[in-house]
Amino acid sequence: MNKSKVKYAVGLMSGTSLDGIDAALVEIKGSGINTKINLIEFINDDIPEKVKNEIRNCCNVEKSNTELVCSLNFKLGYLFSKSVKRVCSKANFAMEKLDFIGSHGQTIYHIPKEDGSCLKSTLQIGEPAVIAYETNTLVVSNFRTMDMAAGGEGAPLVPYTEYILYRGEKNRALQNIGGIGNVTVVPAMCNLEDMYAFDTGPGNMIIDEMVQRLKGVKYDKGGEFAAQGNVNEALLKELMEIKYITLKPPKTTGRELFGSQFVDKLLDKYKDIEDNDMIATVTMFTAKSIQENYRRFIFNKYKIDEVILGGGGSYNNTLVRYIKELLPECKVMIGEDLGYSSDAKESIAFAILANETLNGNYSNVLGATGAKKRVILGNITPIPRRA
């Protein structure tokens, strides 16, 4: 791959929160620490409710089956392809100029540690052959598996891109709040080996599921429902006793722990809690889990100057307020305060990771995933039709 040539790519991300398919059209030049990137266009496409339900069922061990996973793999491939075409169309960008696509895929199940007879493993679907055929573009996908083959947990993967974009003269904690919350610690003027990252616990996943059940809407826009409620301290105390919260990194989690089944149990056990109070409590749980992980696993190593929030949770004003109140010693900002798009952060990351794959560069961070060795991530699906 010509490292000096400007490349055009689309990064795709469909997260555990099921809040849509993110597609970022970017211009990339160089690779590694010398990467220069420019966001041309970004979109978020809704996932049809029927498909969301299929994803939820695939993630549920009691409802999943091989036929459903097989079909959904291709169904998502077509949806991802449409998002690529739409972001290019919105930018008035000719598809023929697109050099590659980086697709994270939709996580169906993730086993970060051996569990009985189950090996540590992961499954992301959204068939790359469909994306490649529909767009006639090379696709890099399945980024997690090589890290797991090297002994890692396969996540988080964004830290490498955060090193490229956010390394500077301050100690920074980059807190992404998607379906799951994850943090990357970027010490001032650090080397890649100095960085570490891990999942702090729930992000928007429990909040969104609770709001859908109690209010019949997709999410708590601006944190308005939570702002009208009061935190139930007894429930919050019980939530904070979940073992994952105090588990030492490296660690990752997902819908298998904090998904719909988790919300089922909460609503069944706490029927008497008023709706807005319940939403306020699970919102505080996300904030409190972030604080607890920082105090246990970050503040004992670094004095953090800036906490930069990204992902959909950065637009939940009540959640942001809670985090600021819990971390008074840090300057808490959102990505936009530094000129970055919080929404586009992860989709841009997978365009960058695909670029690293095609340049033959290692892009896992050992301090994030716990892998034994640095490796080249991703599977490459070639252009299916030559002109």
Which distant-in-sequence residues (6+ apart) come within 8 Å of 371 by Cβ? 147, 148, 150, 151, 152, 364
- What DSSP string describes 108-147? EEEE-S-BTTBPSEEEEES-HHHHHHHHTSEEEE--HHHH
Tell whether residue 21 is among the known ligand binding residues.
Answer: yes
3-state SS, residue 259: coil
Residue 94 confidence (pLDDT) = 97
Burial class (CB in 10 A: 0-12, 13-18, 19+), 228: middle
Tell whether residue 22 is among the known ligand binding residues.
Answer: yes
Residue 1 confidence (pLDDT) = 58
Cα separation of the two ends of the chain: 19
Tell whether residue 275 is among the known ligand binding residues.
Answer: no
User: In a structure prediction context, what are the per-residue pLDDT tens digits for the chain, which is 387 residues long?
Assistant: 555 689 999 999 998 778 899 999 999 999 998 999 999 999 999 999 999 999 999 988 889 999 999 999 999 999 999 999 999 999 999 999 999 999 999 999 999 888 889 999 999 999 999 999 999 999 999 999 999 999 999 988 999 999 998 999 999 999 999 899 999 999 999 999 999 999 999 999 999 999 999 999 999 999 999 999 999 999 999 999 999 999 999 998 988 899 889 999 999 999 999 999 999 999 999 999 999 999 999 999 999 999 999 988 999 999 999 999 999 999 999 988 888 888 898 999 999 999 999 999 999 999 989 999 999 999 999 999 986
CB distance 110 to 87 below 8 Å: no
Residue 268 confidence (pLDDT) = 95
Long-range (24+ apart) CB contacts under 8 A made by 184-187 are 184/156, 184/158, 184/159, 184/368, 185/298, 185/301, 185/302, 185/304, 186/162, 187/302
CB distance 10 to 20 below 8 Å: no
Residue 231 confidence (pLDDT) = 98
In angstroms and rounded to an integer, the radius of gyration of the C-alpha atoms of the chain is 20
Tell whether residue 20 is among the known ligand binding residues.
Answer: yes
Q: Domains in the chain and their CATH numbers?
A: 7-154+345-381 (3.30.420.40), 159-338 (3.30.420.40)
Residue 76 confidence (pLDDT) = 98
C-beta neighbour count of 216 within 10 angstroms: 7
C-beta neighbour count of 265 within 10 angstroms: 9
Tell whether residue 12 is among the known ligand binding residues.
Answer: no
Tell whether residue 15 is among the known ligand binding residues.
Answer: yes
The pTM assigned to this predicted structure is: 0.83
Tell whether residue 122 is among the known ligand binding residues.
Answer: no
Which distant-in-sequence residues (6+ apart) come within 8 Å of 209 by Cβ? 259, 260, 262, 263
Tell whether residue 216 is among the known ligand binding residues.
Answer: no
